[in-house]
Chains A and B, each alone.
Chain A
Amino acid sequence: MVVSEVPAGTGFKVVKISTGKEVGKRLADMGFTDGAEGRVVRTGLLRDPLQVRIRGYDVLIRRSEAESIEVVPAAREGGSE
Chain B
Amino acid sequence: MRSDSAAGLRPASAAPLPRVLRVALAGNPNAGKTSLFNALTGAHHKVGNYPGVTVEKLEGSRLRRGVEYRFVDLPGIYSLTAYSIDEMVARDFLIDERPDLIVDVLDSTNLERNLFLCLQFQELGIPVVGALNMSDEAEAKGIAIDDAALSSLLGIRMVRTVGTDGRGVDELLDAIDAAAGSSRGESKSIHYGAELESQLTPLEAAIGADRAFASRYPARWMAVKLVEKDANAFDRLRGHASGGAIAEDARAASAWLEGHYGRDAEIVVSEQRYGYIRGAVKEAVRVVRAPDFSVTEAIDKVIMNRFLALPVFALVLWGVFELTFAAGAYPQRWLEDFFSWLGGAVTAAMPGGVLQSILVDGVIAGVGSVFSFVPLVVILFFLLSLLEDVGYMSRAAFASDKALHAFGLHGQSVFPMMLGFGCSVPAIMAARTLKSKRDRIATILVIPFMSCGAKLPVYVLLAAAFFPKNPAGVVMGIYALGVALSLIAAAVLKRTALKGEPTPFVMELPPYRAPTLRGVLWHVWEKTASYLKKMGTVIMAASIFVWAITTFPAYRMPEEAVQGVKAGYSAEHPGSSEEEARAYADSVASEAAMEHSAAGLIGKAIQPAFAPLGFDWRLSVATITGFAAKEVIVSTLGILYRAPESADGGTGSLVDALRSDPHWSPLLAMVLLVFTLAIPPCVAALSTIKGELGWRWLGFEFLLLLSVGWLLGFAIFQVGSLIGAGSFGMAAATAGL
A59 within 8 A of B: yes
Are B306 and A29 touching (Cβ within 8 A)? no
Are A26 and B401 touching (Cβ within 8 A)? no
A5 within 8 A of B: no
A22 interface neighbour in B83, B287, B304, B307, Cβ under 8 Å: B83
Are B306 and A45 touching (Cβ within 8 A)? yes
Contacts of A80 in B (CB 8 A): 291
Kindly report which residue of chain A lies nearest to residue B80, judged by CB atoms.
A29
Contacts of A45 in B (CB 8 A): 306-307, 309-310, 402
A34 within 8 A of B: yes
Are B402 and A81 touching (Cβ within 8 A)? no
- Tell me the bound Cα distance from A66 to B305 in angstroms: 19
B509 interface neighbour in A35, A58, A62, A64, Cβ under 8 Å: A58
Kindly report which residue of chain A lies nearest to residue B310, judged by CB atoms.
A45
A1-46 CB contacts (< 8 Å) to partner B? 16-31, 33-36, 42-46
Are B267 and A24 touching (Cβ within 8 A)? yes
- Tell me the bound Cα distance from A59 to B510 in angstroms: 8
Contacts of A36 in B (CB 8 A): 274
B483-526 CB contacts (< 8 Å) to partner A? 502-511
Contacts of A64 in B (CB 8 A): 502
- Tell me the bound Cα distance from A23 to B267 in angstroms: 10
Take A17-B263, A43-B306 as given contacts and tell me if A65 and B504 are in contact as well, using a CB distance cutoff of 8 Å. Answer: yes
Are B508 and A25 touching (Cβ within 8 A)? no
- Tell me the bound Cα distance from A36 to B511 in angstroms: 21
B112 within 8 A of A: yes
- Tell me the bound Cα distance from A28 to B112 in angstroms: 13
- Tell me the bound Cα distance from A28 to B400 in angstroms: 25
- Tell me the bound Cα distance from A60 to B310 in angstroms: 16
Contacts of A20 in B (CB 8 A): 263-264, 266-267
Q: Could you say which of A19, A44, A65 has the most chain B C-beta atoms within 10 Å of its C-beta?
A: A44
Contacts of B511 in A (CB 8 A): 58
B402 interface neighbour in A16, A27, A42, A44, Cβ under 8 Å: A44
Take A29-B78, A33-B274, A80-B291 as given contacts and tell me if A17 and B267 are in contact as well, using a CB distance cutoff of 8 Å. Answer: yes
- Tell me the bound Cα distance from A51 to B509 in angstroms: 8
- Tell me the bound Cα distance from A60 to B106 in angstroms: 21
Shortest beta-carbon distance from A31 to chain B in Å: 5
B38 within 8 A of A: no
Shortest beta-carbon distance from B550 to chain A in Å: 51
A81 interface neighbour in B275, B290, B504, Cβ under 8 Å: B290
Are A62 and B405 touching (Cβ within 8 A)? yes
- Tell me the bound Cα distance from A65 to B501 in angstroms: 13
Kindly report which residue of chain B lies nearest to residue A64, judged by CB atoms.
B502
Are B509 and A59 touching (Cβ within 8 A)? yes
- Tell me the bound Cα distance from A23 to B506 in angstroms: 9
Are A44 and B263 touching (Cβ within 8 A)? no
B83 interface neighbour in A26, A28, A30, A62, Cβ under 8 Å: A26
Take A17-B267, A49-B398, A81-B287 as given contacts and tell me if A59 and B306 are in contact as well, using a CB distance cutoff of 8 Å. Answer: no
Are B112 and A51 touching (Cβ within 8 A)? no
B448 within 8 A of A: no
Shortest beta-carbon distance from A47 to chain B in Å: 8
Contacts of B398 in A (CB 8 A): 44, 49, 51, 60
Contacts of B79 in A (CB 8 A): 25-26, 29
- Tell me the bound Cα distance from A59 to B305 in angstroms: 16
- Tell me the bound Cα distance from A34 to B79 in angstroms: 18
Contacts of B402 in A (CB 8 A): 44-46, 48-49
B265-319 CB contacts (< 8 Å) to partner A? 266-267, 270-271, 274-275, 287, 290-291, 300, 304-307, 309-310
Take A29-B79, A31-B113 as given contacts and tell me if A60 and B397 are in contact as well, using a CB distance cutoff of 8 Å. Answer: yes
B688 within 8 A of A: no
Q: List 24 A-B contacts (CB under 8 A).
A: A16-B267, A20-B266, A20-B267, A25-B267, A28-B274, A30-B506, A31-B112, A31-B274, A33-B271, A42-B300, A42-B305, A44-B306, A45-B402, A48-B401, A49-B401, A55-B112, A59-B507, A59-B508, A60-B505, A60-B507, A61-B506, A62-B401, A62-B405, A81-B287
Further contacts, 10 of them, CB under 8 A, given A16-B262, A56-B109, A57-B109: A20-B263, A24-B266, A25-B270, A26-B81, A26-B504, A27-B504, A49-B402, A59-B509, A60-B398, A81-B290
A residues at B contact (CB < 8 Å): 16-31, 33-36, 42-46, 48-49, 51, 55-62, 64-65, 80-81
The 9 closest A-B pairs by CB, nearest first: A20-B264, A28-B270, A58-B509, A29-B79, A33-B271, A62-B505, A55-B112, A60-B507, A33-B274
